């Protein structure tokens, strides 16, 4: 039997309301008797709501990895009121939640980078035997203490999910989701140190990701902590120890040892690094073709990677000998992400800058780390790609930290403005720290002087960095 039209309209409206689609009914539609256009069943129309705005501060730093904590500490030491927001349950990003354990390109970096290594050293948590290995657990505590000493208001377990700009194209709010619900954080100046450039992208800034020709990105990697083995037993397999002779030889021996155990790692240059005593970290996993902005792909990669690293350890253990008591102590809370969005800035660092060893008057720091592109195509190679480009030491200019498409936003860490090749070099944490420091100081100065960061002159920022007090 055919339903009378009026009932049908009621039921349909009821259904739409239950689904949250009530707002899609056009006011004139019911009166004219015409059926409203059917909503797309794959879309949920979110009703507007009021979001509480937390007490505004001078500087809001989103993301608390090496770049973000440095920005927050520096801005706090400049006397600014600072909020630091991170989705993880600890500060440090890849240093801690990612179990990196290894700082690259920190040599000759003054300021906060030197202070951090000295403080880790004083706590017996820095190991210079090979390069700069550190204890990630001590790092977690140290970063919290330094932020608190600098007066930084830390907010963990909180994800930035939206951004609001005002009528003058200035970033005015970072909107978050957490156990406390949806909240908005206002400030005079913002720093995006989320690694993936989430805040800038949410605010509508332009960005690039991956290779310009194909969009292919470098693989993710899961780093793990190992114990139960001794230097006497596995020294020749460990990168950086004299008995292994070279990184290349150590990696080749480990790859062959894994083959002897009947397993081939997804990263063809598997590496073990010594941290302290019988405490090691291993990087032997590559997850290819995963975008940092795809939560489903990230989830699948994390599950695959964890299964692989456990399997690699179990295979090595089964060989007996020096491996027999090896234990995987911890896998990271977050799989390591080499690259996400590269936000458009007021200067873009390019491969040409690396080739000519570019110098700049507004140099934040000198990068000495080479071009290091992990394979974007496992059919070609499952290790490092030869990009046929060699880098000379080059400067990161402050302009690469200034977002191009919105005012009041600075960038720090791996999301600054650069091309695919340049990013593969400047991304390491010895550079993320001075970038954060410069962004934090500039944000504090801009807030204090009620100016936009791009109107500050670099000598003033540089002088403030050089005279920044330690806690």
Ligand X SMILES: Cc1cc2nc3c(=O)[nH]c(=O)nc-3n(C[C@H](O)[C@H](O)[C@H](O)COP(=O)(O)OP(=O)(O)OC[C@H]3O[C@@H](n4cnc5c(N)ncnc54)[C@H](O)[C@@H]3O)c2cc1C
Residues forming contacts to ligand X in the complex (CB under 6 A) are 62-68, 85-88, 93-94, 100, 102-104, 159-160, 193-196, 198, 221, 223, 283, 336-338, 413-414, 427-430, 432
Nearer to ligand X, 65 or 397 (CB): 65
The string of DSSP codes covering 60-92 is EEE--SHHHHHHHHHHHHTT--EEEE-SSSSS-
DSSP code of 161?
E
Least gap, CB of 66 to ligand X (angstroms): 4
Least gap, CB of 9 to ligand X (angstroms): 42
Are 334 and 305 in contact by the 8 Å Cβ rule? The answer is: no
- Which CA distances in Å does 336 have to 71, 86, 100, 169, 305? 21, 16, 8, 34, 11
E-only strand ranges, 193-346: 207-208, 223-227, 238-239, 271-276, 279-283, 327-330, 342-343
CA 174 – CA 59 distance, rounded (Å)? 11
Nearer to ligand X, 21 or 427 (CB): 427
Q: Which two tokens stand for residue 46?
A: 């979110």
Least gap, CB of 344 to ligand X (angstroms): 17
Least gap, CB of 275 to ligand X (angstroms): 12
Nearer to ligand X, 16 or 328 (CB): 328
Q: Residue 112 contacts by C-beta under 8 Å, 6 or more apart in sequence?
A: 70, 73, 74, 433, 434, 436, 437, 468
Least gap, CB of 286 to ligand X (angstroms): 9
Nearer to ligand X, 16 or 171 (CB): 171
Nearer to ligand X, 86 or 144 (CB): 86
Least gap, CB of 157 to ligand X (angstroms): 9
CA 61 – CA 351 distance, rounded (Å)? 29
CA 425 – CA 385 distance, rounded (Å)? 13
Nearer to ligand X, 107 or 460 (CB): 107
Least gap, CB of 455 to ligand X (angstroms): 25
CA 365 – CA 392 distance, rounded (Å)? 14
CA 172 – CA 165 distance, rounded (Å)? 5
376 C-beta neighbours (distance < 10 Å), count: 20
Q: Which two tokens stand for residue 110?
A: 């003054």
CA 184 – CA 162 distance, rounded (Å)? 9
CA 125 – CA 135 distance, rounded (Å)? 5
Least gap, CB of 391 to ligand X (angstroms): 16
Least gap, CB of 195 to ligand X (angstroms): 3
- Comparing CA positions, the residue from 304, 302, 286 lying closest to residue 294 is 302
Nearer to ligand X, 25 or 141 (CB): 141
Nearer to ligand X, 431 or 464 (CB): 431
Are 407 and 167 in contact by the 8 Å Cβ rule? The answer is: no
Nearer to ligand X, 347 or 369 (CB): 369
Nearer to ligand X, 85 or 120 (CB): 85
Are 338 and 427 in contact by the 8 Å Cβ rule? The answer is: yes
Least gap, CB of 161 to ligand X (angstroms): 7
Q: How many residues belong to the chain?
A: 471
């Amino acid at each position: 039997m055919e339903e009378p039209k009026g009932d049908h309209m009621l039921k349909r409206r009821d259904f739409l309301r239950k689904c949250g689609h009530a707002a899609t009914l056009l006011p004139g539609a019911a009166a004219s008797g015409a059926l409203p256009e059917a909503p797309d069943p794959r879309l949920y129309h979110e009703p507007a709501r009021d979001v509480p705005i937390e007490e505004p501060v001078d500087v809001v730093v989103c993301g608390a990895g090496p770049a973000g904590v440095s920005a927050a500490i520096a801005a706090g030491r400049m006397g600014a009121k600072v909020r630091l927001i991170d989705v993880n349950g600890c500060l440090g990003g890849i240093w801690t939640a990612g179990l990196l354990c290894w700082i690259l390109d920190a040599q000759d970096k003054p300021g906060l980078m030197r202070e951090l290594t000295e403080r880790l050293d004083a706590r017996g948590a820095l190991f210079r035997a090979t390069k700069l290995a550190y204890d990630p657990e001590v790092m977690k505590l140290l970063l919290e203490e330094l932020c608190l000493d600098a007066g930084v208001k830390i907010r963990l377990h909180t994800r930035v999910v939206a951004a609001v700009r005002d009528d003058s194209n200035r970033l005015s709010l970072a909107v978050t989701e957490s156990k406390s619900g949806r909240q908005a954080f206002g400030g005079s100046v913002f720093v995006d140190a989320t690694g993936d450039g989430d805040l800038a992208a949410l605010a509508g800034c332009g960005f690039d990701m991956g290779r310009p020709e194909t969009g292919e990105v470098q693989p993710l990697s899961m780093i793990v902590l190992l114990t139960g083995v001794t230097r006497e037993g596995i020294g020749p397999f460990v990168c950086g120890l004299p008995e292994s002779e070279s990184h290349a030889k150590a990696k080749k021996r480990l790859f062959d040892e894994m083959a002897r155990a009947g397993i081939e790692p997804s990263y063809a240059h598997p590496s073990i690094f010594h941290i302290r005593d019988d405490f090691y970290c291993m990087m032997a996993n590559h997850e290819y073709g995963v975008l940092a902005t795809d939560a489903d792909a990230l989830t699948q990669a994390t599950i695959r990677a964890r299964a692989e690293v456990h399997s690699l350890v179990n295979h090595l253990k089964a060989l007996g000998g020096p491996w027999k008591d090896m234990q995987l102590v911890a896998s990271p809370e977050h799989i390591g992400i080499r690259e996400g969005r590269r936000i458009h800035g007021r200067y873009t660092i390019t491969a040409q800058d690396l080739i000519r060893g570019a110098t700049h008057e507004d140099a934040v720091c000198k990068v000495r780390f080479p071009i290091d592109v992990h394979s974007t195509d496992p059919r070609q190679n499952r290790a490092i790609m030869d990009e046929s480009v060699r880098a000379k030491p080059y400067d990161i200019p402050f302009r690469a930290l200034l977002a191009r498409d919105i005012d009041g936003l600075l960038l720090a860490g791996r999301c600054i403005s650069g091309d695919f090749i340049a990013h593969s070099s400047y991304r390491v944490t010895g550079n993320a720290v001075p970038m954060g420091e410069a962004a934090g100081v500039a944000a504090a100065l801009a807030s204090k002087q009620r100016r936009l960061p791009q109107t500050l002159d670099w000598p003033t920022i540089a002088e403030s960095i050089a005279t920044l007090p330690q806690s």
